[in-house]
């Protein structure tokens, strides 16, 4: 094998691997990226059952109910319309998780239409706010731009 050839083959192998990685990344990002939904979007075009997504909105007043085990809470998340999505979460609540305040729930939609949250992000402190909740006051309804679309397509 000529020296030039070997260098060429190496470059080709490296390129193939990197491009392969890129394609793989592009393909799985489309499938695995965690999209952000507002309640009304989730009501209109629900994501597939079990697909990891995030739901952001306001915790509806009077909707927080703790179950008898003391660690599972159920509450409703509302957005700009009357649509409300029931959320179920087992775990330690963030400190600033209160009614009428913003929350982002990570998790997936269950078969019964209840959003099963695995993690809740609430406003943490002045400096560390989940990006989706930036600029959201407590009285203000979930005034996140309606053009935060659901999917890429």
Partner 1 sequence: MIAEIGLAALWLAAALAVLQMVSGAFALKAAEGEVNPLAIYARPAAVVQAFLAVLAFALLLWAFAITDLSIKLVASNSHSMKPLVYKLTGTWGNHEGSMLLWVGVLAASGGLLAAFERRLPERTMGATLAVQGFVALGFYAFLLLSSNPFERLPVPAMEGTGLNPLLQDIGLAIHPPTLYAGYVGLSVAFSLAMGALLTNQVNPAFARVLRPWVLGAWVLLTFGIAAGSYWAYYELGWGGWWFWDPVENASLMPWLAATALMHSVSVLAARDALRTWTIMLGVLAFSMSMLGTFLVRSGVLTSVHAFAVDPERGAFILVLLLLYIGGAFTIFALRAGAVAEGKRFSFSSREGALVFNNVMLSAILAIVLLGTLYPLVTEAFDVRVSVGPPYFNPASAIFAVPMFLVMAVGPLLRWKEDKPARIQFEMLMLAAVLIAVIAVTAMVGDYPFLPLLGLGLAAALALASFLPLRGRKLARVPLATWGMVLAHFGVAVSLFGMACEGAFSQERLAAVAPGGTEQVGDFSFTLQSVTPVAGPNWTALEARIAVSRDGGEPVILVPQARNFWSPQQSTSESALLTRWDGQLYAVLGNQAADGRWQIRMWWKPFVTFIWYGALLISLGGILAIVGRVRVDVKRRHASEVGEERRADLAALGAAAPVPAE
Strand partners, 121: 104
Residue 130 has which token pair? Answer: 């989940």
Nearer Cβ to partner 1 (56/78): 56
In contact, 36 and 53? CB cutoff 8 Å: yes
Taking CB under 8 A as the binding criterion, the range among 24-32, 42-50, 80-88, 109-117 that sits at the site for partner 1 is: 24-32
Burial 83-93 (b: 16+ CB within 10 A, else e): bbbebbbeeeb
- Asked whether position 125 contacts partner 1 by CB under 8 A, the answer is yes
Nearer Cβ to partner 1 (52/141): 52
Q: Indicate which single residue of 44, 49, 61, 71 sits in contact with partner 1 (rule: CB under 8 A).
A: 71
Q: Indicate which single residue of 124, 138, 140, 143 sits in contact with partner 1 (rule: CB under 8 A).
A: 124
- Of 83, 81, 75, the closest CA to residue 103 belongs to 75
What is the Cα gyration radius of the chain?
A: 21
Residue 55 has which token pair? Answer: 């739901």
Taking CB under 8 A as the binding criterion, the range among 10-18, 39-47, 79-87, 135-143 that sits at the site for partner 1 is: 10-18
Taking CB under 8 A as the binding criterion, the range among 25-33, 40-48, 77-85, 135-143 that sits at the site for partner 1 is: 25-33
Q: Rounded to a whole number, what is the distance in angstroms from the first to the last CA of the chain?
A: 48
3 state DSSP class of 17: helix
Taking CB under 8 A as the binding criterion, the range among 15-23, 41-49, 76-84, 135-143 that sits at the site for partner 1 is: 15-23
Torsion (CA) 141, 114, 83, 96 in degrees, nearest 10: -10
The binding site for partner 1 (CB under 8 A) comprises 1, 3-4, 6-7, 10, 13-14, 17-18, 20-22, 24-26, 28-29, 32-36, 52, 54, 66, 69-71, 90-93, 95, 124-132, 134, 145, 147-149, 151-152
């Amino acid at each position: 094998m000529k020296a030039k050839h070997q260098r060429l083959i190496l470059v080709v192998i490296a390129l193939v691997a990197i491009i392969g990685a890129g394609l793989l990344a592009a393909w799985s990002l489309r499938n695995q990226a965690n999209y952000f939904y507002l309640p009304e979007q989730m009501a209109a075009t629900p994501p597939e059952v079990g697909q990891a997504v995030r739901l952001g909105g306001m915790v509806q007043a009077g909707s927080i109910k703790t179950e008898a085990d003391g660690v599972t809470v159920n509450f409703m998340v509302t957005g700009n319309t009357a649509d409300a999505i029931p959320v179920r979460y087992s775990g330690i609540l963030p400190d600033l998780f209160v009614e009428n305040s913003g929350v982002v729930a990570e998790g997936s939609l269950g078969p019964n239409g209840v959003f099963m949250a695995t993690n809740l992000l609430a406003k943490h402190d002045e400096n560390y706010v989940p990006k989706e909740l930036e600029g959201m006051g407590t009285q203000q309804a979930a005034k996140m731009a309606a053009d935060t679309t659901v999917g890429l397509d």
